[in-house]
């Protein structure tokens, strides 16, 4: 098991990554007043595990899915916390994927102006990305993550045992953030390129988890609250990904990130940010993770959601684009120019 320290200004965080992390969480919280937040999918699979790891701990079980990541879900958690008579020394345990981590984290930040928080991610995406870094949020009025806070967990426990029950779509979801990291960090990128045929093997993905966490930890340490702009790099592929996710739904967040990376490689190439050969390399890597890019006949309608992206400043649409191996660039496009590129997704492809 690897231990990765995240030294942020607001609160240091320690990540335990590897076999035995779940048991380490149980031992860490022994004697504490724990409160578990999870969802119906995870509870169906791991209710006995939760009871064994955190005996006697009250739990809040929410409906599963991104569409429940809203103020109703948030206030359900807060109400259950109040019913359980939690206090500031109590520990909220976010036991689930990215949606649960985001909502439970925000509830921990709000309740009594802050309770203790531990993340126990059970999906590949949450283990390699969303559980680390302290971003918490809910969606509101059709805008992703618009109500939220930066609130660091004191511990993150990433145990690969939970990945064994993931459906194929959830594995692809995690691949979106892994491929993104590989484009931003050349060490991770080289490992992915050298083992591209293993990109759907859980054993290899578990190896990559700690590498992805280390990269993100380094970014978060230097720019915890996106004040310097460095942390924006983690939004590579997310402008288009989020816009399509809000427009169309159905697919997972990570799948939309992969689609966003694919389209935004055309933007990077067309706007002179990267060489055509590198844009093609990006697209080839994306297709290793998601062999078919779906057609979106109404893709241009995603513009209205992209205009609400938090990275924007002014009337344009802001992007983090691939520049070269391990490098990126920020670019703002006029809305009509971005609509032109969105139409690529509406074209017929073989």
Annotated active-site positions, please? Answer: 113, 135, 177, 216, 226, 231, 235, 238, 242, 253
User: Cβ contacts of residue 225 below 8 Å, gap of 6+?
Assistant: 150, 231
Token pair in block for residue 119: 């993340």
197 bridge partner residues: none
Instruction: Check: CB of residue 188 under 8 Å from CB of residue 213.
Output: no
DSSP output for 9-60: SS--EEEEESTTHHHHHHHHTTTS-EEEEEEHHHHHHHHHHHHHHSTT--EE
DSSP label at 326?
A: T
Tell which residue, 129, 152, 148, has the closest CA to residue 7. 152
Supply angle C-alpha 243, 266, 143, rounded to 5: 10
> What DSSP letter does each residue of 137-165 carry, written as one string?
EEEETTEEEEEEEE---SEEEE-GGGGGG
3-state secondary structure of 115: coil
Torsion sign over Cα 131, 137, 139, 143 = negative
**Per-position DSSP letters for 286-303, written without gaps between them:** HHHHSS-PPP-TTGGGGH
């Amino acid at each position: 098991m690897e231990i990765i320290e995240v030294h942020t200004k607001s609160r240091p965080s320690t990540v335990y990554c590897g076999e035995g992390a779940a048991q380490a969480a149980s031992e860490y919280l022994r004697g504490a007043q724990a409160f578990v937040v999870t969802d119906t999918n995870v509870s169906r699979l791991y209710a006995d595990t939760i009871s064994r790891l955190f005996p006697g701990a009250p739990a809040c079980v929410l409906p599963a899915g991104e569409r429940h990541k809203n103020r109703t879900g948030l206030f359900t958690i807060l109400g259950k916390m109040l019913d359980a008579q939690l206090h500031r020394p109590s520990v909220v345990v976010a036991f689930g994927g990215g949606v649960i981590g985001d909502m439970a984290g925000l509830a921990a930040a709000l309740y009594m102006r802050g309770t203790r928080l531990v993340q126990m991610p059970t999906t590949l995406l949450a283990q390699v990305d969303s559980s680390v870094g302290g971003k918490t949020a809910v969606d509101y009025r059709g805008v992703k993550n618009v109500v939220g806070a930066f609130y660091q967990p004191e511990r993150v426990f990433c145990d690969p045992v939970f990945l064994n029950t993931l459906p194929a779509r959830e594995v692809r979801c995690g691949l979106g953030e892994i491929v993104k990291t590989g484009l931003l960090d050349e060490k991770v990128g080289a490992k992915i390129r050298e083992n591209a045929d293993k990109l759907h093997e859980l054993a290899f993905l578990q190896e990559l988890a700690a590498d992805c966490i280390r990269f993100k930890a380094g970014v978060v340490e230097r720019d915890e609250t996106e004040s310097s702009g460095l942390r924006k790099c983690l939004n590579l592929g997310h402008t288009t990904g989020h816009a399509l996710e809000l427009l169309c739904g159905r697919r997972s967040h990570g799948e939309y990130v992969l689609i966003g990376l694919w389209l935004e490689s055309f933007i990077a190439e067309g706007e002179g940010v990267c060489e055509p050969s590198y844009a093609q390399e990006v697209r080839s890597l994306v297709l290793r993770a998601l062999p078919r890019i779906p057609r979106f006949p109404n893709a241009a309608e995603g513009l209205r959601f992209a205009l609400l992206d938090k990275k924007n400043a002014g009337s344009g649409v802001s992007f983090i684009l691939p520049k070269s191996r391990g490098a990126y660039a920020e670019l703002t496009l006029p809305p009509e120019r971005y609509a032109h590129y969105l139409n690529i997704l509406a074209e017929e492809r073989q």
